[in-house]
Structure formats: C-alpha cells, structure tokens
Amino acid sequence: MTDRAPASSGAGPARGGRSRRAAGAGEYTAASIQVLEGLEAVRRRPGMYIGSTDARGLHHLVWEVVDNSIDEAMAGFATRIEVRILADATVVVTDDGRGVPVGRHATGKDALEVVHTVLHAGGKFGGGGYKVSGGLHGVGVSVVNALSEWMRVESARDGHVWAQEYVRGKPSGPVTRVSPQGDRKGTRTAFRADPDMFEAAEFSFDTIAQRLRESAYLNKGLWIALFDERNDRERSFYFEGGLVSFVRHLNRHKEVLHPRPISVERRDGATAIEVALQYNDSFTENVLAFANNINTVDGGTHVTGFRAALTTSLNDWARRAGVLKENDGNLSGDDVREGLTAVVSVKLVEPQFEGQTKAKLGNAEVKGQVQAAVAEGIGQHLDENPADGRRIVEKCLTAARAREAARKARDLVIRKGALEGMSLPGKLADCQERDPAKSELYIVEGDSAGGSAKMGRDRRFQAVLPLRGKVLNVEKARLDKVLSSENVRPLIIALGAGIGETFDLAKLRYHRVIIMTDADVDGAHIRTLLLTFFYRHMPQVIENGHLFIAQPPLYRVSTGKQTLYAQSEKEREAAIKKLAAKSVSVQRFKGLGEMNADQLWETTMNPESRTLLRAEVDDAAEADEIFTMLMGEKVAPRKEFIKSEARKVQNLDV
C-alpha cells in the first residue's frame, strides 16, 4: 500500500477548452490562448500545484503532460500516445494530435511559449480548442516546466516543426522552426524533473503503466505505448471494449454472477455517459468514477445518479419479474451494492470540480442525466437477460438477510463495549491519555509479545491489544461473520468508532493505530490479514493517515559495551563494520516475544528512535485487485503471482 495519488489536473498546453466558440467553429490558433496570471510561485510552493514533492508529486508531472494528449484524443484529433522513460530519467511524451498552437499571441510572445511559461494559460477557458477537457485550470504543463531541470517541446503543425527549450521554467531562446512538417503531426514534450525540487527522481514503470492502462480503457480505440529504456521494458494498451473491458479486468480474479457486463452508452445533450457493471460473488463494492477522464475518488453527482438508478431499476425489474413479491420490502442501496464492480464515466463541457485535485464532481444536472441513462440501460439488459437478473437479485436478497444479521451483531458489539465501560475488551492494556490525537494503540500478535509490549510501553499514551489465534480473513467473510469473530470483535470495541456504514471517525479512540507483528512469514501473514480488515471495513482509518506498521529489528549486534540493531542483513553487516571490534555478538530475533521490554521500547516503540511505515493507498483499483488476488477465493491467480514474484525474493525466511 502506498499513498493515494491525487487525481490529475489534466490541464496543459493550449490544448484545453470549451464548446462556446470565441474563435470560428473548429479554429484552434494563437487567438485561442488566454492568459490568466503569471508563473511566479510554483517553485517556491510546488505542493500547492502538484500535491507533494514525494513520489506522488513526481508522477503527477507525467500525468499533467499525458492528460494533454488524452484531451487531444477526447477531442477526436489524436489516436496514438507514446510515453518513454530514458536512461537519464528524462520523460518523453509524444502524440499525433494537432500540435500546440504557434504564432504571435496578444501578450507579444509566441503562443507556444505562453502555454509553457504562464500559469492559467491554455485553450480550455473559452477559446475554440476543445469541447471536452480534463484540464480545467490550465496550470498543468507550465507547472511541469517550472519544476523541471530541463524541458523541450516540439509542435508539428502549419507545415513545420516548431521547438523551444526551457531551463527551470525559463525559455533558453525563442520558438524556432526546426524542420518541415512532412508526415509528422502532434506534440513531443521531453522533460527531466528537477532533483532540487523532489525528494526522489525515480519514476515507477508499474505506476505509470497502471495509469496509462486506465486511460486506454476510458478512451476506447486509443493506442497508448510505454517504453522504459532504463531496463528495456515496454507495454502497450488498446481496448475496443472500453469500460466493458475495464470491468472484466477488475473482476478477472473473482467469480462473476453473469458472464457479460451490463453496458450503458448514452448522450444527453452535450454530456456523454458510459457505464459498465458486473456482479461477482464477493462481499465488497468496487465503483470507480471518472469525469473527463479524471478519477473522481470522492465521487460526485455522477455516482449519486448511478447509485439511485441501480437501486430503483433492480427493484422495479424484480417486481415485474415476480422475484420480489407484493409483501416483500424493497432492496436497499447497501443490498444492491454487495459484490458490485462498476465504472462510471461522464464527459461534459463545463465540469465543476471541487478543488485543484478534482476529487469530486459537482454538476447538478449530471445526476439526472446519469440516473435516466443507467435506469434505462439496466432495465433493458435484464428484460433481455432475465437469468442474469434473477442471479443478481438473489445475491441482493442474500445480502439483505446477512445485513440484518450484521446489524444485530453490531448492536451487540456496541452494547458490549458500552456495558464494559472503562475495562474495554479482553486483554487490552489501555493508556492514561484521553485525547485520541495523543494516543496510540499497538496491535500485537500473541500473549508473549503482548507481555513485552505492555511492560515496555509508555503507559501514558500507548495502549496494547494482544491478538490470540488466527485473525479472520475478512475477504472471504460477510460482516455478520466478521462481527462474531473472537479476534476481530475486541479490536472493533477497542477502536470505538463502529464498523462499516456506521463507522464514525470522530469516535476513533487512537489516532495512531500500529500493527506490530513478528518479522517472519507468520507475522507478515497476520499483518496482511489486518491490513485487509482495515481496507475492507474501516478504510477511513487508512485514508486519514491513522494506520501504521511497526518495524521491529531482525538483528541485535553487540560488543557487550555497545549495541546496535538492524532490520536487514545489509544493515547487520554495516553495524558489524561500524563496531569494528574483534568479538561481536549477533542475535537474530525470531519474534517480538524474544525481546526484552527495554529492547522493544528502544527499537520499536520509542517515538524518538522507532521507524513507522504509514499505510496508504496509491490506487483504489490496484489495491482492490491485490487484496482480492492475495486473500480471495480463487487460488490460480495467487499461484501465478507467487511464481512471477518468486525470482525477486532475496532473503527467504522459512
């Protein structure tokens, strides 16, 4: 699990815009470019524009440039995009669109220079550049330029190839005509991230590939290729099936209820609506939503419309088909979303996003447009495929019965926690601090480790909850079974915030929840089971940065007078060299229980010296896929994963 990447702003070269044509219809010239303000503050406060200066922000540079090419594809002008990572970490993005406009701009500068050096300059603010665009703010490529050590842009249009180079956002010279256009068209942008601005300058092939695959699903018929010259890897993405292919990809490790996804494609005025959905036999919902190719991770009006249509259309069809009798109650929204995988994509002229990161769509009219389209599409599919409908509704009815059982079990858990008062569950050793922001809970495997942790902790602000026995794999269990688990229920009570739809982050009793397991295979398994539990039933704990993983040492290296600890063999060898004594004692810890209380405090629990990893989610679709593959019912995908990853293992602990 890594941190969640903010949805890309998508704004970029003068390649964004609106359907209200200030210029002549279809024209895209220097007159299309509008300047809103300058580019002074980007290098001083990069986080305001790309979210952060860690790996997430670094990759945001790639998204900004790629999204400009995607905008060309959405406008119908580009059919191919190539992303290339060179050996020196330069990134090159090429498309076969119209090319960035060139020519004298109202500011007196060339339009190509304006686009790449002025904040809020682009063809996405009212010129004739685009009907639909992900680039709302027009900050994208100029921000990339400002945060790059070096950038070169080539635009093939108007009979020639035009180019300009920049150093840390400033032009090295004027826009020049470098060659005849010939058969070439489109834009080529090469940039190298400025190492002075980023914590690390290492691009991840897998992260970029995941994003490009997603973009190819959302724009069927678009060819996207990725080449990595650092290690000679390449991937190409092209999907005629669009969102149907996307849903099949998301469900490929799951048992589906109906072989063919339900697909909806409608146009309502200027809004294009595309939805695909398919049910599987899992107990979780996985709905991905996009507006103009921007992943709206916090949903919005398009998701609200989709969910309303799903509930009403399934209830309407179930009554028409006689699956729901006259005296039966309606299926609830929660009932119809169990086991649902869906992708909702809308493309509209004037998207209203919340904030620069565009996490939520706010256009009020989109709710009704999506609701009408989806209700009609689902009703038609189920009328034509009644067997699919019966399987889906039976799944929903089973979910309803399980939900009622879970409600009773949840009430029991809550009552039990309230009745037990300050004693709380089981073997919890609570802390004295009552301010959640200053409190920590260590979740520890076994009584032995729990004993060391209880003795070694600072009881003023550190609580310890030992877990006994095997933690339930919640990937294979409904909520009612989760709530009845002797291992999971005490954890729910200790955290105090409820579970599932009743979870209330404001009631969380500890703002640092720390998983502390042995540094061996069993410990890794328990850690994965707990991560699965939090991801599936308390995702808010992860999303708000409250879940951590402790890093206990594997080795103790000592001369008798001086002691060092190491978390890997490499660190162990370095520690031995650092002590440079003739007689060095090396102890390998097999478990936390082998460590004395003072050793556990010194290495793993002392805020002054410990190392904690924050659990974060980089990509919701990828995280869902990994949890399903590693923890789900299907064995074959897990075996394939183990076989493919086995060659990367360096130190095997058996």
3-class state of residue 294 by DSSP: strand
**CA-wise closest residue to 540 among 502, 514, 487, 489:** 502
Give the amino acid at 457. Answer: R
Q: If phi over 0 gives left and psi between -120 and 50 gives alpha, with beta otherwise, what is residue 646?
A: alpha
- Look at the chain and count its residues: 654
Contact 348, 241 (CB under 8 A): no
Q: Is beta strand 160-167 parallel, antiparallel or unpaired with respect to 176-180? A: antiparallel
Q: How many CB atoms lie within 10 A of CB 106?
A: 12
CA dist., res. 288 & res. 274, Å (int): 12
Residues with Cβ within 8 Å of 38's Cβ and at least 6 positions away in sequence, in order, are 118, 119
Residues with Cβ within 8 Å of 508's Cβ and at least 6 positions away in sequence, in order, are 436, 495, 496, 497, 541, 546
CA dist., res. 481 & res. 473, Å (int): 10
Contact 324, 318 (CB under 8 A): yes
What does the block give as tokens for 516? Answer: 């502390």
Contact 612, 550 (CB under 8 A): yes
Q: So which residues are the catalytic ones?
A: 445, 518, 520, 522
What does the block give as tokens for 270? Answer: 């200027």
**CA-wise closest residue to 86 among 234, 235, 229, 236:** 229
Angle subtended at Cα 94 by Cα 92 and Cα 95, rounded to the nearest 5 degrees: 160
Contact 392, 279 (CB under 8 A): yes
CA dist., res. 317 & res. 376, Å (int): 11
Q: How many CB atoms lie within 10 A of CB 321?
A: 14
Give the 3-state DSSP-derived string for 99-161, with helices as H, strands as E and coil as C.
CCCCCECCCCCEHHHHHHHCCCEECCCCCCCCCCCCCCCCCHHHHHHHCEEEEEEEEEECCEE
What does the block give as tokens for 478? Answer: 């409904």
The alpha-helical segments, DSSP class H, found in 385-487 are 386-420, 447-456, 479-484
What does the block give as tokens for 613? Answer: 């990893």
What does the block give as tokens for 361? Answer: 């769509």
Give the amino acid at 217. Answer: Y
Q: Is beta strand 170-171 parallel, antiparallel or unpaired with respect to 176-180? A: unpaired
Give the amino acid at 262. Answer: I
